[in-house]
Each structure stands twice: as structure tokens, then as C-alpha cells.
Structure 1
């Protein structure tokens, strides 16, 4: 497909590490979308500058932006907004499978840890060094968020 010469480039995504950017770039190119990486060499030479400069930017032509975003969502490089942002509370049994999504059985999940409000107050008052984080999970395939709670009997 012939692109107009004056079509501007637009940042589709930004990555912290070069290998992540190259995987997404290769996936887009395999789908026929023209793309470039910006600031890749700066991050490779000075890897601690990655966050300061906004990471390695994956850019596509403005006319390909919507299609590129859909392609990255299809390849699980970009988060899909189809799932619920609400955390579902699931009962924890003795044989809970924490390696698979309980909704779609995918292995493409992530463990999220964040401190609770009470824990932040305790940190502030006591200067405690060991964090006790709330644990929740996210499935990148179906977009669900969940956490396990203990059975009360």
C-alpha cells in the first residue's frame, strides 16, 4: 500500500526496553503496517534514561494509527479495554490454581501488588521497611481483574 509522503508519524506506544519495542515493531510490520522506533539508540546506550525520555516510541503514520492499535491489541501488545476494571473477589479453596485465569483459563496473567490505605498509614507512623501488599491478578487475554479471599467457614 502506497503511503502519502506528507503523512505525519504518530506515537502508538512507548516501551522501557528495546526488546519489547522490537517485538511489537516486528508484529506490526508482519501485518503490513509501516512503523519506526524513536529513541531506541539513546536507551540502548544510556538505559537509565529510558523513563526520562519517555521510553522507546513505536510510531506509525497517522493514517495507520487506528489499525495499528487494533493489530497490537490482537497480538496482546496493547491492553484491551474490553474487560472490567472492577476487581472480582473469588473464594480461595485448598486447591486454587493461581497460574491460570479463572474466567478464560489463560496463562497470560499478572500478579499485582499494591499497599492498602491502612498499610500506608502504618508506614508513615512507624517507618516500617517491609511492605505488606494487597494481591490481585489481571488476565491480559480477557481483561478480568480478581483477587482471592479466604473462606470464612
Structure 2
């Protein structure tokens, strides 16, 4: 059976939640490159993240489920500034602590990056806010 990429993830928690959601709907799927990204997060970009692989005949239904799940999440977290649901939970490079941590890691030769702050970002008005 042929498998195709339905979505990619930067961490195994989000990937497993999505996979579990699809499996609960009897969709045949698995995670590719999960171990590589989990063991060495620096390789995330090199391997393209954790890939949620879905059986070719079920890809349309799987994409619909993932899209609906994302839409439900966005409706639960509307932008408090403009009310838009065009919102995603993203890493923020704006905080000085994120840049300082990266610089220290480079100077000291530490392999693992420091945790990056994440915020909800509204793509309509540009407002960023912490999760409630």
C-alpha cells in the first residue's frame, strides 16, 4: 500500500495527537522520522519534521479531518483584539530571551536549543497573545 504525507509536525506530541485523531476514524496512518526528530531536534528542518503518513486511498478523508480539527481549535481561540479565527499557535522570535538563548548556545557549543516561547498569532491583525 502506498502512503502519502498528510501533514508535518515539529514535535511528537502534536504528531501523536493528529495520528490518534485519524486512527480513531479508522484511517491507516503512521509517523515517519519521529525518532530522528525526537532524539535530535536540531535535525527537524533537515529531515522535514515528523511526517504523518496516510494510506493513499484515505488521504482525502484524512485531510478533511485534519482541516476540521484545526478549524475547531481556531474557533476556540479567537483573537481577543479583532475576533478573527485566523489564528495559529506559533513560535515567537520577537522576544529577546529567544535570541539571547540562541546566541548563548552558539557561543558555548551546546547542542540542544533552549525552549522557544510560543504564542497565539492572529494573521489578520498581527496581534500576539498568550494562551488563556
5 Å matches for 1:1-153? 7-76=1-70, 99=80, 101-103=82-84, 109-110=87-88, 137-138=122-123, 145-146=124-125
Using structure 1 for the length normalisation, give the TM-score. 0.52
> Where does residue 84 of structure 1 map in the other structure?
none
- What TM-score does the superposition give when structure 2 sets the normalisation length? 0.59
3-state SS of paired residue (1:33): coil
- Can you give the 5+ residue segments of structure 1 that lack an aligned partner in the other structure? 1-6, 78-96, 115-135, 139-144, 149-153
SS at match of 1:146: coil
Higher normalized helix content (fraction of residues): 2
Contact in 2 for aligned 1:60/1:68 (Cα 8 Å): yes
Bigger share in strand: 1
Closer/same/farther in 2, CA of residues 111 and 60 from structure 1, 3 Å limit = closer
* Gap regions ≥5 residues in structure 2: 72-77, 94-120, 128-132
Aligned-pair RMSD on alpha carbons?
A: 3.3
> Secondary structure of 2:47's match?
coil
How many pairs align? 95
